Homo-oligomer: A and B are copies of this chain.
Amino acid sequence: MPVVDIADKLALFSDHWSPKVVARLNDYEIKLVKLKGEFVWHTHDDTDELFLVIAGHLTIQLRDGDVTLGPGQLYVVPRCVEHCPVTDGDVSAMLIEPAGVANTGSAGGERTATQDTTLLD
């Protein structure tokens, strides 16, 4: 298990809405992702999902009010809570959730990212 330097890992990719696994913790995955624009409304029925913003500002739209995160701020979207991330520009974030969770949750569709479980290197 190597040390993971978050900035170094973020420099390795530029695509948006496609989380990259950088570490594993038991059966959880630590992912980095770049976000820009609006995603799709979705839920994860079986798990909470942690967002930690590294750079930029991310709004997590929720049906009962939005949450906005800047660098060094984190939020856990509870399971079954419908949400839709949107940004005002480029955002880099860390996601933590159990392995195998699809980015679009129960919504599916064309924004569903391929799940590459190889550690980003």
- Chain A interface residues toward B at CB < 8 A: 1, 3-7, 23-26, 28, 30, 47-50, 54, 67-69, 72-79, 96-98
Question: Main secondary structure on chain A at its contact with chain B?
Answer: strand
A82 to chain B, nearest CB (A): 14
Given A30-B74, A74-B30: A67 touches B25 (CB 8 Å cut-off): no
Distance between Cα atoms of A67 and B26 in the complex (Å) = 20
**In the complex, chain B residues whose CB is within 8 Å of the CB of A50:** 23, 25, 30
Task: Say whether A76 contacts B24, CB under 8 Å.
Answer: yes
A3 to chain B, nearest CB (A): 5
**In the complex, chain B residues whose CB is within 8 Å of the CB of A72:** 5-7, 54
**In the complex, chain B residues whose CB is within 8 Å of the CB of A77:** 1
